A = this chain, B = another copy of it.
């Protein structure tokens, strides 16, 4: 769906956190990235070589990926010259912003003139069926969380890699923009029409060989007042055999809505298991994925041991410990 290699466009964002899409792509698909393109004033950095449109094109780039999400999700006018030049040089443009590339007349015109594609990955590219809930072959893992931005995508990708390294037949299924750029395909589930949430996931992770594993990237949280509907439809459509419960150690208020409490792991797990049983009565908890970035090594070890003992499953931090303990349990 999205052709690599990529040139990652960082614009002129001042807050490195606004470039987390680019950072994620550079981390997980370094092989697919030739470099980054930064405008004057940009303070984000993926660590990739800085390249102009011309240099990237000479090296074989196929797609310029807008890898930043400025507050508001709009496309600043001052970026249009470079984006238009990329189209003129023969690159496709891909973006996960709310504002659509195809709605910008200059870009639409340049793409048409040059026969290039504008890929708005937040826009569903086909109609989806209503979810059937019917059991389907193949095995599936879904990452669920106590909040948004707790590491569900990271955990899903780490699991997929580890499973593949152990010889398992595993696919990562992307449900958000960064995941889609990394996988090259997927469905931005929060952009699907509400009637088709579970149906879109049934389409994304369809019937498969009995020994094939889909690792599905979760979104939101059943305890998030804005996004719980998306999370529930995703859960039902995934029909997961295993859940991986994701949490950021120490977070007590929801990301960006700190007056909302983060549920306890136990409460979050109970509701996820209860509701997941609707479409897979045999669903189980595989383990806990703890983002311990804010802790010292000693604190992190203590916290992981404590969570593991409380819930009776492995607890990992993919950055500190890797996820081998989860895959080992899967293979038992």
| A219 shortest CB reach to chain B, Å | 9
Is A130 positioned at the interface, with any CB of B under 8 Å from its CB? yes
Is A228 positioned at the interface, with any CB of B under 8 Å from its CB? yes
Interface residues on A, range: 20 to 34
B233 x A133 contact (CB < 8 A) = no
| A294 shortest CB reach to chain B, Å | 25
| A131 shortest CB reach to chain B, Å | 4
Q: Which of A80-88, A191-199, A244-252 contacts its partner?
A: A191-199
Is A242 positioned at the interface, with any CB of B under 8 Å from its CB? no
A interface: dominant SS: helix
Q: Which of A25-33, A62-70, A270-278 contacts its partner?
A: A270-278
| A207 shortest CB reach to chain B, Å | 16
| A211 shortest CB reach to chain B, Å | 25
Question: Which residues from 224 to 280 on chain A have a C-beta closer than 8 Å to any C-beta of chain B?
Answer: 225-234, 236, 257, 260, 271, 274-275, 278-279
Tallying the copies of this chain within the complex gives: 2
- Please indicate the chain B residues that have their CB under 8 angstroms from the CB of A193 in the complex: 190-194
B198 x A191 contact (CB < 8 A) = no
Render A183-195 as a binary contact track against B, CB cut-off 8 A, 1 for contact. 0000001111111
| A238 shortest CB reach to chain B, Å | 11
Is A9 positioned at the interface, with any CB of B under 8 Å from its CB? no
CB contact between A191 and one of B195, B274, B279 (< 8 Å): that residue:
B195
Q: Can you show 30 pairs from A to B with CB atoms below 8 A apart?
A: A130-B227, A131-B226, A132-B225, A133-B257, A133-B260, A189-B194, A190-B194, A190-B195, A191-B193, A191-B195, A192-B193, A193-B193, A193-B194, A194-B197, A194-B229, A195-B226, A195-B230, A198-B225, A198-B226, A198-B228, A222-B275, A223-B278, A228-B232, A228-B233, A228-B236, A228-B275, A229-B230, A229-B232, A229-B236, A271-B274
- The 5 nearest A-B residue pairs measured at CB: A133-B225, A229-B233, A190-B195, A197-B229, A229-B229
